[in-house]
Structure 1
Amino acid sequence: MTSNLKTQIRAFIIENYLFGDTSHPLDDATSLIENDIIDSTGVLELVTYLEDTFQISVHDSEIVPSNLDSISSIASYVASKTILQQSVA
């Protein structure tokens, strides 16, 4: 599941923040914030994408770098939210 999440998230980041430029090094651990790929407005756009695409709710307290600063952290965060929602349902 996480591999598919990473692929979807990477595609969104390349399209929306790098404007389709695949020459930028973007591995799973690349810091999106430290490398100026995403800014505060971009984080809000990313949150909207995650909520709409993966049918999760992102609470304000969860909008932190540990959840949203790299493809790996985003994928892990989304996976944990979807697993949590499945166990509640």
Structure 2
Amino acid sequence: MPQRGDYVVDHSTAVPPALPWVGRIRQTHRDGTVLLITPTGYAWTAAPGNLRPATDGERAAYDAQVRGIRRERDALYAQLRGGVRS
């Protein structure tokens, strides 16, 4: 059974030609469904039958997107505080 923090792919989100979404498990429910979150913070509930473990590449891509979003956020905060001038 998937655990909190695991990276999984939800095949129910695939709409060809788009690939299915990769999410991290935020919460597991008694009925077996899980609450997943994207790198951008969007959360959704998925059924366990639609999930598979993410590959190393999928996990790396997820983490890279999270790092990019954090860098952008930090740069914006610095700019708003006057730490960066354009």
TM-score range for the pair, normalised by the shorter chain length:
0.3 to 0.5
- Normalised by the size of structure 2, how large is the TM-score? 0.34
Please identify the structure whose Cα radius of gyration is greater: 2
Higher normalized helix content (fraction of residues)? 1
Specify which structure has the bigger relative contact order, considering alpha-carbon pairs within 8 angstroms and separated by 6 or more residues. 1
